[in-house]
Amino acid sequence: MIKSWLNRIEKRVLKTMETPGPFAPFSFDQILAGCADIYKTGVKLRYAMYANNILKSRRLDCPVISIGNLAVGGSGKTPMAIWLAKMLVENGWRPVVISRGYRGTLKNEVAVVSNGRDVFLNAKTCGDEPYMMAMEKAFPVVAGKDRYKAGLMAIENFAPDVVILDDGFQHLKLRRNVNLVLLDHRQPLGNGYMLPAGRLRETLCMAKDRIDAIVFTRCPSENASFAQSVQDLGVNIAGHLEFCDHYRYNEPDFKRILAQAKALNLDFILTTQKDWVKLNPAWFRDVTVVVMGVRLRFTHPQDFEKFILDNIVVQGAGSGLP
Can you say which residues are annotated as belonging to the binding site for ATP?
71-78
Task: Report in angstroms the alpha-carbon separations of 31 from 25, 26, 34.
Answer: 9, 7, 5
Residues 223-227: contacts with CB under 8 Å, at least 24 apart:
226/272
Least Cα distance to 41 among 225, 211, 242, 194 occurs for: 194
Q: Which residues are annotated as a binding site?
A: 71-78
CB 84 within 8 A of CB 308: yes
Residue 29: strand, helix, or coil: helix
Give the Cβ contact number of residue 264 at 10 Å. 10
- Alpha-helix runs per DSSP H in 67-122: 77-90
Residue 106: strand, helix, or coil: coil
